[in-house]
Structure 1
Amino acid sequence: MDEKTAELRDIFVETTGEESVTEDQSADRGSLLDDPDDDRVRAVLATLREETAVETDLPLDAHERVVRLFFEGLSDAEIATELDCSAEAVFRARLDAHLVAPSDRETTLDRDRLRRLVREEISLAERAAAVDADETTVTCQSAVIEAEIASTRHNHRFRDELATLLSDAPLADKLASGAREDGLREATEDIETDVQL
């Protein structure tokens, strides 16, 4: 230890009363994601319930649980079992939160045509006749389309906020984007740009 370092160490010991000048580096493992066990999810849902016309009968705490379990990858039936309610109640609460799963869109009926009918507020019976499907399927698909329209109307704000709080998708997208850019940069480094016309 040279003279300057020793002098600085003495000043540190005098000032702090500590002999050790380094911190223990073995901290517990953390998460790259925000802690989902805070009040932010509930706040997003409370705002959504104030600003939009939700149809769910579930109270706010159960609605929050539906959303959290959805992001954990549970199906509507599995969430219903956890909450001791019907899968239909879970489906409705999930769509009220603008959370549409890819499987919700899987259907043989003409969704573009049904979307137009939903926007025009055509009756359920007329929609079913127009797309040649039973009313149960049309009811389900209409609810999905209405959730998509509501999400778009709010610029996907609620869906995106919930996804940011409860999933690592934004982080994964950012990392993947960075990897693609690095890969492209490396791939194009040796390309000659001298072009004669």
Structure 2
Amino acid sequence: MDEKTEELRDLFVDATGSETVTDRQEEPPGSLLDRDDDAVADRVAALVATMRERYGFDSDLDDAQYERVAAGFFDGEDDAAIADVVGGSGSAVDARAVRDARLDLHLVADADRDAPFEYAALKRLLAADRSVEAAAAELEADVETVREFVPVARADLASTRVNDRFRDEFRALLTDADIEDAHAATAREDGLREATEDIETDVSL
């Protein structure tokens, strides 16, 4: 490989984070550009039903309410706001019930993991079947504080065991993830093209 080719290759790696050149893929099926709202709703309902059958749910919400919880989560609504919509006026549905439903769906927010101890250590202890009391002792934390984070850690562990399948599919169905990924790929390609043009200009001079 000559000096110019090697420099172009280094620029490609810097711009794309990859050493392999691939053709640009077309917009994947199911993107927001052409997705059918009814089909999305049907798929979300199917995911909720599958998870209820597989795991059992901790809250008393019905499937339609779980679907609304998922949609609200990816719309950036907090648990209290979702509870207002799901339950309506005078309903017993509160933010705690919505949190439980989110965790049933493996939808863990970053704020849920903000523990006053090492959260990753809690996950390791629970994965090793340690009791809450034993985990609290090892973490040197209050038992009730640890207990508050146990459902979060268990949701993360359950999601990890299925390679985040449900969480990722909800995200793909309920967000602009496909479009954002396509835009990121385009930006990387544009950066590579501009860098390559600059190199070619320098070489010609």
* Superposition TM-score tier, normalisation by shorter sequence: 0.7 to 0.9
Q: Deviations over 1:89-121 (max 9, x none)?
A: 111110111111111122231112211211112
Structure 2 Cα separation of the partners of residues 57 and 188 of structure 1: 58
Moved more, 129-138 or 156-165: 129-138
The answer to whether the aligner puts 1:46 opposite 2:49 as a matched pair is yes
Structure 2 Cα separation of the partners of residues 90 and 60 of structure 1: 13
Equivalences for residues 46-195 of structure 1 within 5 A:
46-82=49-85, 83=87, 84=91, 85-191=93-199
Task: Give 3-state SS (helix, strand or coil) of 1:56's partner.
Answer: coil
Structure 2 Cα separation of the partners of residues 46 and 70 of structure 1: 18
Q: Which has the larger radius of gyration?
A: 1
Contact 2:113 2:152 in 1 (8 A): yes
Who is 2:28 aligned against? none
Query: What TM-score does the superposition give when structure 2 sets the normalisation length?
Result: 0.71
**What is the CA distance between 1:127 and its match in structure 2?**
1.5
Q: Which 4+ runs in 1 deviate beyond 6 A? A: none
Structure 1 Cα separation of the partners of residues 103 and 74 of structure 2: 13
Structure 1 Cα separation of the partners of residues 174 and 71 of structure 2: 7
Residues 75 and 186 of structure 1, relative CA distance in 2, 3 Å threshold = same
Task: Give 3-state SS (helix, strand or coil) of 1:57's partner.
Answer: coil
Structure 2 Cα separation of the partners of residues 106 and 68 of structure 1: 23
5+ residue gaps, structure 1, are 1-30, 193-197
**What is the CA distance between 1:172 and its match in structure 2?**
0.8
Structure 1 Cα separation of the partners of residues 102 and 83 of structure 2: 11
**Residue identity matched to 1:59:** D
Structure with more relative contact order (C-alpha pairs < 8 Å, separation 6 or more): 2
5+ residue gaps, structure 2, are 1-31, 201-205
